[in-house]
Amino acid sequence: MDSSLVDQLTDKWRSLRPLRGFLRLFEKLAVRRSSLVFAVCEDLACESAAWVGSERVVVLPDADQRRACR
C-alpha cells in the first residue's frame, strides 16, 4: 500500500470530497479482504492495522535506489 487512493482522489478532485466516506468504505473493504498488507510508511501501516489487525501488516523500509542498479 503506497498511499490511500481515497485521499489521492479527493485531493485531486474536490468534487469527490462529499463521497469520501463512501469511497473509504471500498478501500477498507479491499484492505480487509487482503491476506497481507505491505505498507511503505508507518502512517499507512497504522491505518491498515486498525482495519485488519497488526499481524497482517508489514512495513517495507525505503529501498536505497543508488545501490539497486549497478
Q: What is the total count of domains within the chain?
A: 1
pLDDT at 31 over 50: yes
Query: Domain range spanning residue 54?
Result: 5-68
CB 56 within 8 A of CB 36: yes
> What's residue 22's pLDDT?
95
H-run or E-run covering 42? helix 42-52
Please give the share of the chain, as a percent, with pLDDT higher than 70.
Answer: 87
Name the β-bridge partners of 39: 59
Q: What is the pTM of this model?
A: 0.73
CB 54 within 8 A of CB 36: no
DSSP annotation of 62: P
Residue 64's pLDDT band, with cuts at 50, 70 and 90, is low
